[in-house]
């Protein structure tokens, strides 16, 4: 019965989506909207329905958009497919490949064990260690990869302490610290997930403006640090630690470090390469381009045989590359055809005259929408409209870009927003009821911190309103 319902739901959504698409195409052209703008809008609505409903994968939805633009004559095929050469696409591709080298050599696993052993003197310190390591490593790797790395380690700690799923408060706190640490740390830089590179790519193609690695990180760090502070004390308060002695967990970590042996030459070389790459992004990113630096590092990794292509094929989510190309194409088409401006004019947001109120509304929508659909889809959905709003109201488009991208990464409750939460639910220690109350408190707190720093702190960095 469930399978039948699932199939029926899927066919109903697909049929309804294409019916709505055809209906919009058949409508007369509204005042202020061009014929191509109407076609672009129809494609946008079709993609939104599929992104929200998840009846087909996100990347296939993006491929559908790429197919429809040339077929309907909105953009030429050459222009559409050239968007796959966007710098943001190659930057994130290079980042994923470098992350693969860190994981495959065992460097990330070794660092996790050593780091957690430093925090192994008490239950609360170990909890803090899980959160801090998850967050900090998500600065430099996809938060999904960090969650997948940390999960077996936290499971082993829980088993060594004989924590019971569902019942143990400490078990719940450990897994939520892992997931929320990954989520919060993932918004700090361009490397924590797909959102930031995608948003910057849309910003660049739509307005010609961009933002440096350093500026983005400095803009997000205060929100990240304050939210992590709330995460830790919220977990301590809501899930009182019932474990007094973590000697078994400390012994487990020590034994695993011993079994790992001395750091291999590959681990050292990968570590040096990553430090050099991050240093180059920070110091030379604006001059040489983040994508160029990432790809140079990838070439170096293969020249010195730090990676195997077969491993890269397994580790890199190639579907995300398709997602980027389609989303960037969609944003560009909406802007060039005037559909974005038309949408801005007819939405209530267009009547908001205060830039600060507008940023509050945009960030609030993004931080809650990400619980229902993936954060990448939130960026693809909201960026064209918010950039249009910024242009229409003469607001710095970087501000609206940050207002969409950072909050959309803060999915603390449901598994749909980020795989980190899905991985945590799979542990058996955490359920929706556990994450709902604490996640809602955390979400509201993070949003308040975000808008406060946006108003008072960003102008100091030169991100003016």
Unique residue bearing structure tokens 């983040």: 290
**DSSP code of residue 56:** S
What's the structural domain count of the chain? 1
pLDDT digits 0-9 by tens, 111-147: 888 888 888 788 999 999 999 999 999 998 888 889 8
32 — pLDDT class (breaks 50, 70, 90): confident
Answer for the pair 153, 112: CB distance below 8 angstroms, yes or no: yes
Asked whether residue 121 is domain-assigned, the answer is yes
pLDDT digits 0-9 by tens, 271-304: 999 999 999 988 888 788 888 999 999 999 999 9
Range in 34-43, 118-127, 139-148, 350-359 with the lowest mean pLDDT:
350-359
CA trace torsion 267, 271, 273, 279 (10° rounding): 180
**DSSP code of residue 410:** -
Answer for the pair 429, 435: CB distance below 8 angstroms, yes or no: no
Asked whether residue 184 is domain-assigned, the answer is yes
Q: At residue 93, does pLDDT exceed 90?
A: no
- Find the distance separating the first CA and the last CA of the chain, reported in whole Å: 54
Asked whether residue 399 is domain-assigned, the answer is yes
pTM, full prediction: 0.83
Instruction: Take residue 248 and report the two structure tokens written for it.
Output: 């078994």
Task: Give CA–CA dist 274/297, Å, rounded.
Answer: 8
Asked whether residue 457 is domain-assigned, the answer is yes
Length of the chain: 465
Q: At residue 90, does pLDDT exceed 70?
A: yes
92 — pLDDT class (breaks 50, 70, 90): confident
Asked whether residue 2 is domain-assigned, the answer is no
Task: Give CA–CA dist 342/350, Å, rounded.
Answer: 10
Ramachandran bin of 338, using left for φ above 0, alpha for ψ from -120 to 50, beta for the remaining angles: left
Instruction: Indicate the average pLDDT of the chain.
Output: 86
Asked whether residue 1 is domain-assigned, the answer is no
Domain region containing 359: 7-461
Percent of the chain at pLDDT > 70 equals 96
Asked whether residue 131 is domain-assigned, the answer is yes
């Amino acid at each position: 019965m469930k399978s039948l319902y699932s199939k029926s739901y899927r066919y109903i959504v697909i049929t309804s989506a294409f019916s709505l698409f055809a209906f919009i195409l058949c409508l007369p052209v509204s005042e202020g909207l061009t014929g191509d703008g109407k076609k672009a809008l129809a494609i946008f609505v079709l993609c939104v329905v599929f992104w929200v409903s998840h009846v087909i994968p996100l990347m296939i939805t993006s491929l559908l958009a790429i197919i429809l633009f040339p077929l309907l004559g909105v953009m030429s095929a050459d222009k559409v497919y050239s968007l796959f050469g966007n710098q943001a696409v190659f930057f994130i591709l290079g980042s994923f490949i470098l992350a693969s080298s860190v994981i495959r050599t065992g460097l990330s696993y070794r660092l996790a064990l050593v780091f957690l052993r430093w925090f192994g003197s008490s239950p609360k310190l170990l909890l803090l260690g899980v959160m801090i390591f998850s967050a900090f490593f998500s600065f430099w790797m996809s938060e999904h990869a960090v969650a997948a790395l940390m999960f077996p380690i936290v499971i082993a700690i829980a088993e060594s302490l004989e924590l019971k799923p569902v019942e143990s408060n400490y078990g719940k706190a450990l897994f939520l610290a892992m997931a929320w640490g990954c989520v919060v740390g993932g918004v700090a830089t361009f490397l924590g997930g797909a959102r930031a590179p995608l948003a910057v790519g849309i910003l660049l193609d739509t307005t010609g403006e961009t933002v440096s690695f350093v500026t983005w990180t400095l803009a997000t760090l205060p929100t990240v640090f304050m939210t992590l502070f709330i995460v830790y004390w919220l977990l301590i308060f809501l899930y009182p630690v019932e474990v007094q002695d973590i000697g078994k967990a400390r012994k487990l970590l020590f034994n695993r470090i011993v079994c790992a042996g001395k750091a291999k030459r590959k681990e050292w070389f990968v570590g040096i390469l990553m430090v050099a790459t991050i240093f180059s992004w920070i110091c030379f990113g604006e001059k040489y381009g983040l994508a160029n630096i990432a790809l140079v590092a990838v070439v170096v990794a293969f020249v010195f045989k730090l990676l195997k292509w077969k491993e890269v094929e397994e580790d890199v989510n190639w579907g995300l590359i398709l997602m980027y190309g389609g989303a960037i194409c969609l944003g560009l088409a909406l802007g060039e055809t005037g559909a974005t401006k038309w949408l801005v004019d007819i939405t209530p947001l267009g009547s908001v005259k205060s830039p600060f109120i507008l940023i509050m509304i945009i960030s609030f929508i993004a931080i809650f929408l990400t619980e229902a659909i993936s954060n990448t889809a939130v960026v693809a959905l909201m960026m064209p409209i918010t950039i249009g709003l910024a242009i229409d109201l003469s607001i710095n488009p970087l501000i609206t870009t940050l207002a969409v991208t950072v909050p959309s990464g803060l999915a603390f409750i449901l598994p749909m927003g980020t795989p980190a939460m899905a991985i945590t639910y799979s542990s058996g220690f955490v359920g929706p009821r556990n994450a709902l109350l604490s996640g809602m408190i955390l979400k509201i707190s993070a949003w308040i911190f975000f808008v406060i720093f946006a108003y008072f702190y960003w102008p100091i960095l030169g991100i003016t309103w």
